[in-house]
Each structure stands twice: as C-alpha cells, then as structure tokens.
Amino acid sequence: MGKWCRVKCSCSNRRPLPGSDISNYSDYLKSIKKPRLAKTEQEWKEKVRSVFECGHRSGNAVEFWPGDIISLGQALEIAFRSTPQEFGIFRRIADPENYDDELLKKSSDESAAWLLETQILNEFIRGETYLGWHPKIVLDREIEQYGFLYGNLDDVISSVEMLCRASLTNGTSIEFLL
Ligand SMILES: [Zn+2]
C-alpha cells in the first residue's frame, strides 16, 4: 500500500523543461528535428525526462515510495490501539479512510508536529520515553513481523524527517498518494 509521496519544491523557476513531458524514448526521438543532436537514452532519462528548469525532477524537492512509513503507521496503530492520541499523524497516514480521492495532504504546519512525533518515537524506541510496556512489546513485535523493504526502523524515521524538513523549508505540503 502507498504508491508515492512527495514534497513540491518552491523554486521561482519551477517549470517543466521543454519536452520533459514526453515519457518514452522513441517519442522523444521523433520530436527531435535534427537527429544527430538527440541525446542517448541514458542522457535523456537523466537530463530531460520529467526535469524542471530548477533541476528538481518533476518539480519535487523530495519524492519516494512511502510503503515503509505506512507499515510503521500500521504498527503504531496496533501498538497504541487504546490511546488514540499517540502518534496521530503516523496513524492517519496509514489509514486509507483519511484519503480524499486517493490523496492525503499534510500542510507544512503539520510537518512541524510530525517532526515532534518522530522525536518522541525515537525516544520511545530507545526506552528514553515511557508510554507503557505493552505498546513497546507490541510495536517491537509488529516491526519484526513486517520487516521494512528499504532498510531498518532508523532509515524509515530518517525518511519521515526528510519529508518534514523539505516541507518546512519550501513551505509546501507533504502529499501521499494511494
Ligand atoms: Zn525546484
């Protein structure tokens, strides 16, 4: 679950480069008037396809597959079932009910709150903040069962921090797409 997440950049020249909207290489070749000036497929993938004038691919400061973040949110939902106030942002992102037309937007104000949540989660995992023994045991068990596809729990938390910081820096939302 979870197809993509992104934070749009706020660069003043956030405009697609001419021809960057062409999504396959053969169409790109057809669009080039002087074939000898055409880029190789590799160059086209790196420097033309989806590239914006500001240099951000698709105009996004950050974008990646958020499946591991959603798995973590589901684990927190199970671990803290009886205390709905804990880790509310993680849990809302993991619940498709909260998506509107397969999209969930978190404003940059919420990014500050989410950063705080990741800090508390870090402390909880390390045993520096006590939020109950039972949730800790359940969370450890759930995380063990899921296994993350890209790295470990620290990597997942870092990826959340990266989203939040990009959102705060650019003043743009974090968007999740189902
Ligand atoms: Zn940009």
Q: Residue 109 Cα, ligand 1 centroid: separation in angstroms? A: 21
Q: Residue 10 Cα, ligand 1 centroid: separation in angstroms? A: 6
| pLDDT lower than 50: segments of the chain | none
**Could you give the C-alpha distances from 1 to 39, 41, 73, in angstroms and in order?**
36, 31, 12
User: CA-to-CA distance for 44 and 25, rounded, in angstroms?
Assistant: 8
Q: Residue 53 Cα, ligand 1 centroid: separation in angstroms? A: 7
Q: Residue 16 Cα, ligand 1 centroid: separation in angstroms? A: 10
- The residue among 115, 117, 119, 122 whose CA lies nearest residue 165 is 115
CB 163, CB 62: distance < 8 Å: yes
Q: Residue 62 Cα, ligand 1 centroid: separation in angstroms? A: 10
User: CA-to-CA distance for 162 and 17, rounded, in angstroms?
Assistant: 26
Q: Residue 105 Cα, ligand 1 centroid: separation in angstroms? A: 19
pLDDT of residue 150: 85
